[in-house]
Amino acid sequence: MLAVLSPGQGSQKPGFLTPWLDLPGAEARLRWWSALAGVDLVRLGTEGDSDEIRDTARTQPLLVAAALLAAEQLPMYDVGVTVGHSVGELAATALAGVLSPEAAVTLAGVRGREMAAACALEPTGMAALLGGEAAELLAAVEAHELYLANHNGAGQLVAAGAVDRLAKLAADPPGGARVRTLQVAGAFHTPYMAPAEAALNAVAAGITTAEPTRILLSNLDGAAVNHGREMLRRLVRQVTAPVRWDLCMRGLADLGVTAVIELPPAGTLAGLVKRELKGTGLPEIVTLNTPDDLAAARDLIARHGAPSGHEPTMQFRVVVAAAAGTFAPAADLGEGDTIDSGQVIGQVITRRGAVDVTAHGSGVLTEWLAHHDDPVAPGQPLARIGGQLS
């Protein structure tokens, strides 16, 4: 069985999206997601410096978009498990079929903005505790009136809370541990983020979910979640709840996962998996950082994914409106026609002019979901594109 991992905040690097823009349709896809997230993902992923892409409001949608963009180049129908770390859980949830990519990117934009706003309310931060015994580390965190934000396994916990209390922890580290202050805006995954959780919940209430099409592990407890609405509730709750990555890795081991692909920007989660699971039969790992790594990732899926000879399935992609206006489908297209990735299938006529509607994957135009002169809203489905996958 093979698992795909989606990384969280802190894994980003300047320019990490640059090589991906050479793929057909990639830049258009990112510009569409930029409109949903409220940030320029193309510029941030190619030109943004370390300080700019460390900004929570920008980093979160950037990471979700990067993971989804890379995953679109993989035969995900042969992947058995998806799991993400912190904001990466939004990408993992989309890859499991619970959320559309558009919903995941939109929620990442809201989550990032609202968590940044919550960080500005009072001085808080985070610190990694490296080494030492977990029980002793947890006792020290509690004794300093701090919160456990991440339990990453492999001798790594992350404490969060008021900066003065973090300073006292650093001055008096628990036995055998090193304390490293993290360059983050505030105390993520703690009650300090309650305003952000409330804001995200208000938006999530309008999101339509589906049931998972593969095993989806939750940061809350490492358990597989079987219902879409339950996973959405957990995603909202996760803003103030600790990330139990240790339990997610235990879940991978319990499932008998034999191979792992980490989506870009890859490396952090692969390192944690290597350290945590080395005594239980280390899975084969591919870190997917550039399109040059796609061949290795596809080969790994072929060898560890769904068994060969499975029945072909039909996968559908829904193309949605990027703006409000009226829809004008391309005059020369009809249901049953073949569509290429990046092809313009129509336009949304707005007060400011026409906005092209492009397909983000190849296949067959299975069904028009909107017709000529229909009024449409941003995010409204316009067409369904399907293709037989084997």
The catalytic site residues sit at 86, 189
Tokens (6 digits) for 228: 């879409």
Structure tokens at 73: 């180049």
Give the Å distances, CA to CA, from 317 to 135, 183, 320, 361, 364: 47, 38, 10, 7, 10
- Residue 217's nearest CA partner among 9, 1, 58 is 1
Block residue for tokens 């559309």:
100
Tokens representing 15 are 């320019």
Pinpoint the alpha helices (H) of 84-193. 88-95, 101-119, 134-143, 163-171
Q: SS3 breakdown of the chain: % helix, strand, coil, rounded to 5?
A: 40, 25, 40
Instruction: Identify the bridge partners of residue 4 per DSSP, sorted by sequence position.
Output: 82, 261
Q: For the purposes of burial, counting CB atoms within 10 Å of the CB of 108, is it exposed (0-12), middle (13-18) or buried (19 or more)?
A: buried
Q: Is the distance from CB of 293 to CB of 265 less than 8 angstroms?
A: no
| Three-class SS of 289-337 | CCHHHHHHHHHHHHHHCCCCCCCCEEEEEEEECCCCEEEEECCCCCCCC
Dihedrals phi, psi of 64, to nearest 5 degrees:
-65, -45
* DSSP of 231-258: HHHHHHHTTTS-B-HHHHHHHHHHTT--
DSSP class of 340: -
- Specify the amino acid at residue 134: A
Would you say 184 and 192 are in contact if contact means Cβ atoms under 8 Å apart?
A: no
Number of Cβ within 10 Å of residue 76's Cβ equals 19
Helical ranges in the chain per DSSP H: 26-37, 41-46, 50-54, 56-71, 88-95, 101-119, 134-143, 163-171, 194-204, 228-237, 245-254, 268-277, 294-304
DSSP secondary structure letter of residue 217: B
